[in-house]
Structure 1
Amino acid sequence: MEIDISTEYSEFLHNNRIKVNKYLNRVMWFFVVTGPAIAVGIRGGIFYDITYATCIGISVIIAILSVIHLLLLKAYPSKKFTCIFALTALDFLLVYMSYSHVHIYLTWFLVPLLSLLFCDKYIYFYGAALNYILMFITTWLTAPFEAAMRTEYESASEYFMDMMSGFTIESIIMFASGYIIGKLILEYFKTLFDQYRLIIEQERSMEEKIHLLDSMAEIYDNVNLIDFINNTEMSLRDSEQKKHGIDLSAQTHTIMNQRLVNQVMSDQIDEFLAFTNIKTIRSRLSHKKLISADFIDVVFGWFRAQYITVDSTLDGIPNVVIYTTRNVDEEKRREEHLIRISMTDEMTRLFNRRCYDEDLNEYRNGALSEDFVLFSIDVNGLKTVNDTKGHAAGDELIKGAADCIALSVGKKGKAYRTGGDEFMVVVYTSDPEGLRNDIKNKSKEWHGVYTEELTMSVGYAALKDHPGVSIDDLEHIADADMYAEKEKHYKERGIERRR
């Protein structure tokens, strides 16, 4: 059955509006403390043109608007007018604050930015248009007061024209940028849903094939009885069960294996022919109950071939052998899945410390190419975030760091989480400094729910810069470079690190 992608996408937008409305309502409730915060500033002599009545008004207005929006959220959580009310409420709060001489120039552009979260161009058009209209009206109303407070303006109209010209240019730039960003986001989501549909259809197709195979197959796909006394073979799955002669002087493989070899993966054919060589089976199976090996069928995936001793001489040489093949593709996939889990960090989905140590052992035993580079990366300020914002914020920071690293590294190498906030990267690149900058730039663009900022100290050691050194020496050099970066980071921010 084909998936209706339009229905899935509409459901996504529906759920997205609900989630964004919930977060906006929390933001609105948070703004209730704006009034007391400004009052503290008045008390401290920071604000001179603002009254305590304004503080009370701000808190009361936003509390009322928050209650109304909460009621709308409960009754109509995904409706557009619930979204529009939240944006309108924030805009009118800005009008009130501006008219009360609370300067919030940058905040004017927050509402159109928030409207992008709804993934709806009409809501964005509304947010941008209302924002500009109210900005225009508020600037006009406050122009006499602001012009009187500033010596560089001779009249209110001069102040108004000066401010609105800047606001207009900024609004146009913001509107165009926001429209492009919103369009790209919608196209990206639609692409994701198209890919999701293809993946689901492929999974369903695979499930149907597996179900068909399971219904047709018994325990073994092929069962062949080989008699070395009479030199015959017979398929036990054939209804006739006809015996075929084996000429050991000229024949190296049974009829069954002559057929199966055509289905074996090309790079495993030699191995398959060696394992199924009829002339060596008795010696290899001597004193053994069975021997087995796994190969890949180009159509059905992994299968297991087994030779089982049925009857043997007193000195353990097989006389009668059963040869079986059985599809073990699902079993192999489970094994691969378990191996992948054991090598993967659960939180970040990067490779874990165990995988890093095993890979490092392989590098120690092999030759390294000239473009081999080892990166050492550490998240800055994780302990502070954990202590001040909680471990959920700390986990978010670690996941954000992992995402930035994974996106930067891509297919150039492997990224590992080797400790709490410690990461290692092994790449093959001629431009390690470019990769370091990519990681830092992506961390600058990252913003979380609990934490707005993510910075990482990134150090590296390139083999071409340190020819002849061991992999362990490169690791120490990369660590030293990372710690130097960390010291530089804290020094630039004036933060005293605890030793």
Structure 2
Amino acid sequence: MKETSGKSLQAFILESRIWLNHYLSSILRMIILTGPAIAIGIWAGIFRNATYRTCLNISGMVAVLALIHYFLVKRFPKSRVTSFFSLTALDIIIVYMSFHQIDIFLTWFFVPLVSVLFCDEVIYFYAVAVNYVFMTAATWIATSISYTRSGFESSFGCFMDVMGGFTIEMLMMTSLGYIIIKLARENFRKLFQQNELIQFQKQSEQERMKILDSMAGIYDNVNLIDFTENTEMSLRDPEQKRIGIDMRSQTHTQMNQKIMEQVMPEHMEDFLSFTNITTVRERLTDRKIISGDFVDIDKGWFRAQYIAVKAEPDQAPDVVIYTTRNVDEEKKREQTLIRISRTDEMTRLRNRRCYEMDLNELRHKPLEDDLVIFVIDVNGLKQVNDTLGHTAGDELIKGAAACLAITVNKVGRVYRTGGDEFMALVHTDDPEHIRERIHKNAYKWRGCYSRNMTMSVGYASVCENRQAILDELERIADANMYSEKEKYYQMTGNNRRRQ
């Protein structure tokens, strides 16, 4: 039979019908030789009741039938009609030989038996019905001629006796043939279901391998780890050899043993913990992926990932893909975006968002004794904006930021938290000295639009307010700043509301 892979059961049945029609066509052409064969038998005295004319008629008749069937096969190879014709032709040949008393012991059940091969109930029952009709006709003719030699008083009695046996045999044969066809079709159906499942699994495996191959082109390293067989396989390796993993003594795959040679020392402990092969399955339970970022000595940041391939819900995966990919540029862009999001656009100092984030970090750990919160406000900004314009006001803000950066950057962080408002988180044992330096640097400043600048500076230290929390320290520093601003107003005689 032809290859059945990828075909449906119906397609297989149709292909088998084509195959059988071609073979039956060949058989009919071979039967043309029956005439000459019988002629030899007549000459040898085997067929005493036959004549040479009968031989010629048989060959001629079969030749016509074979020619008709040949054209049917060429034109309608899948048609049931083509099959019907071949089976009917065989019945005609048997009837003709029986009528001319050619003693070839070819059973009447040969044609229905051949029809079973089609695995088609329609063709089978057609063959049985036509065969029975021809068998009945041939039996009637035969018994009408030879009933006296059989001991019967009438041809009808002889006919009924012979046909009774034939009918019982035909019924048994019909039932048995039908059962054979049903069993064959059922077995073929199961076979094709299994074949479809195999094809689906093969296709899924091919698609999975295509995905893995494409991943191998994206990642620096791609390792397929099979925990059922305890093997690893590099998908970037052209030979794709499977390497055994000894889970009793081995904590890292061969791939990671090579990678760790390039990991920065300060990242080594985290890398060894993340890539420990004995804990990967447990960490991937109920998760699709786990990842970690580390630094390569030569290439910079890289990202290692374990991806679950085959995993049932609430179960550890049996197959895992391990990948590494250089993310140094990505990290740089990420750090740039973070820096931009935390930087004040005008002054390039840290912004209020960054201040709140740093303050939130401090809330989750004990405060150091030398921590001091500074609150700074630029004096006279409104007057500068009103008299000299906003360009002069922006210059004043930038100048204040520069003075604060020069003073504080080595001992802390400076933040612009509002229009002319600044904050600083400083580690110092002498906050008053820091305030004096801020005033001194502001006094030295000169701008293009404004020739002088002053700032009001307030602070609150942890060592002087040990019971206070961060928010209270900020309020104390703010109040201290406003106290200094009042002194500035009193000294200059300016109206506070205009400032």
TM-score w.r.t. length of structure 2: 0.54
Q: What does residue 61 of structure 2 align with? A: none
Letter in 2 for 1:405: L
Q: What does residue 102 of structure 2 align with? A: none
Letter in 1 for 2:324: T
Letter in 1 for 2:332: R
Q: What does residue 300 of structure 1 align with? A: 299
Gaps of 5+ in 1: 1-216
Q: What does residue 344 of structure 1 align with? A: 343
Note the C-alpha offset of 1:218: 5.0
Letter in 1 for 2:489: Y
Note the C-alpha offset of 1:277: 1.5
Alignment size in residue pairs: 283
Note the C-alpha offset of 1:457: 0.8
1:490 to 1:287, Cα distance in 2 relative to 1, 3 A:
closer
Gaps of 5+ in 2: 1-215
Give the Cα–Cα distance (whole angstroms) in 1 for the partners of residues 255 and 494 of structure 2: 74
1:478 aligns with 2:477: yes
Give the Cα–Cα distance (whole angstroms) in 2 for the partners of residues 465 and 394 of structure 1: 35
Note the C-alpha offset of 1:467: 2.6
Q: Superposition pairs for residues 185-334 of structure 1, below 5 Å?
A: 218-312=217-311, 316-334=315-333
Q: Superposition pairs for residues 37-48 of structure 1, below 5 Å?
A: none
1:480 to 1:315, Cα distance in 2 relative to 1, 3 A:
closer
1:359 to 1:317, Cα distance in 2 relative to 1, 3 A:
closer
Q: What does residue 93 of structure 2 align with? A: none
Note the C-alpha offset of 1:463: 2.0
Please say if residues 313 and 319 of structure 1, whose CA atoms lie closer than 8 Å, have aligned partners that are also in contact: no
Q: What does residue 443 of structure 1 align with? A: 442
1:365 to 1:313, Cα distance in 2 relative to 1, 3 A:
closer
Give the Cα–Cα distance (whole angstroms) in 2 for the partners of residues 473 and 311 of structure 1: 55
1:478 to 1:269, Cα distance in 2 relative to 1, 3 A:
same
Give the Cα–Cα distance (whole angstroms) in 1 for the partners of residues 223 and 431 of structure 2: 58
Letter in 1 for 2:258: R
Post-superposition Cα deviations, 1:430-467, rounded to whole Å, max 9, x if no partner, equal: 11111111111111111111111111111111222223
Note the C-alpha offset of 1:348: 0.8
Give the Cα–Cα distance (whole angstroms) in 1 for the partners of residues 345 and 271 of structure 2: 37
1:419 aligns with 2:418: yes
Q: What does residue 466 of structure 2 align with? A: 467
Q: What does residue 170 of structure 1 align with? A: none
Give the Cα–Cα distance (whole angstroms) in 1 for the partners of residues 367 and 465 of structure 2: 12
What secondary structure sits across from 1:464 in the alignment? coil
What secondary structure sits across from 1:498 in the alignment? helix
Note the C-alpha offset of 1:315: 6.5
Note the C-alpha offset of 1:362: 2.3
Decide which structure has the larger Cα Rg and report it.
2
Note the C-alpha offset of 1:352: 0.9
> Over aligned residues, Cα RMSD in angstroms?
1.9
Please say if residues 286 and 313 of structure 2, whose CA atoms lie closer than 8 Å, have aligned partners that are also in contact: no
Q: What does residue 396 of structure 1 align with? A: 395
Give the Cα–Cα distance (whole angstroms) in 2 for the partners of residues 355 and 398 of structure 1: 19
Q: What does residue 16 of structure 1 align with? A: none
What secondary structure sits across from 1:465 in the alignment? coil
Please say if residues 251 and 277 of structure 2, whose CA atoms lie closer than 8 Å, have aligned partners that are also in contact: yes
Give the Cα–Cα distance (whole angstroms) in 1 for the partners of residues 497 and 314 of structure 2: 74
Give the Cα–Cα distance (whole angstroms) in 2 for the partners of residues 314 and 302 of structure 1: 33
Letter in 2 for 1:428: H
Post-superposition Cα deviations, 1:38-77, rounded to whole Å, max 9, x if no partner, equal: xxxxxxxxxxxxxxxxxxxxxxxxxxxxxxxxxxxxxxxx
Post-superposition Cα deviations, 1:396-454, rounded to whole Å, max 9, x if no partner, equal: 10010000000001220010111110011110111111111111111111111111111
What secondary structure sits across from 2:355 in the alignment? helix
What secondary structure sits across from 2:218 in the alignment? coil
Letter in 1 for 2:239: E
Give the Cα–Cα distance (whole angstroms) in 2 for the partners of residues 469 and 317 of structure 1: 50
Note the C-alpha offset of 1:316: 4.6
What secondary structure sits across from 1:244 in the alignment? strand
Q: What does residue 455 of structure 2 align with? A: 456
What secondary structure sits across from 2:255 in the alignment? helix
Please say if residues 412 and 427 of structure 1, whose CA atoms lie closer than 8 Å, have aligned partners that are also in contact: yes
1:365 to 1:311, Cα distance in 2 relative to 1, 3 A:
closer
Note the C-alpha offset of 1:314: 7.6
Give the Cα–Cα distance (whole angstroms) in 2 for the partners of residues 288 and 358 of structure 1: 30
Post-superposition Cα deviations, 1:109-161, rounded to whole Å, max 9, x if no partner, equal: xxxxxxxxxxxxxxxxxxxxxxxxxxxxxxxxxxxxxxxxxxxxxxxxxxxxx
Letter in 2 for 1:284: R
1:474 to 1:315, Cα distance in 2 relative to 1, 3 A:
closer
1:281 to 1:494, Cα distance in 2 relative to 1, 3 A:
same
Post-superposition Cα deviations, 1:325-381, rounded to whole Å, max 9, x if no partner, equal: 000111111111111111111111111111112222222332112211111110000
What secondary structure sits across from 1:373 in the alignment? strand
Please say if residues 377 and 458 of structure 1, whose CA atoms lie closer than 8 Å, have aligned partners that are also in contact: yes
What secondary structure sits across from 2:497 in the alignment? coil
Please say if residues 379 and 422 of structure 1, whose CA atoms lie closer than 8 Å, have aligned partners that are also in contact: yes
Please say if residues 376 and 479 of structure 1, whose CA atoms lie closer than 8 Å, have aligned partners that are also in contact: yes
Q: What does residue 407 of structure 1 align with? A: 406
Letter in 1 for 2:340: I
Please say if residues 444 and 454 of structure 1, whose CA atoms lie closer than 8 Å, have aligned partners that are also in contact: yes
1:498 aligns with 2:497: yes
After the TM superposition, list the runs of 4 or more consecutive aligned residues in structure 1 that deviate by more than 6 angstroms: none
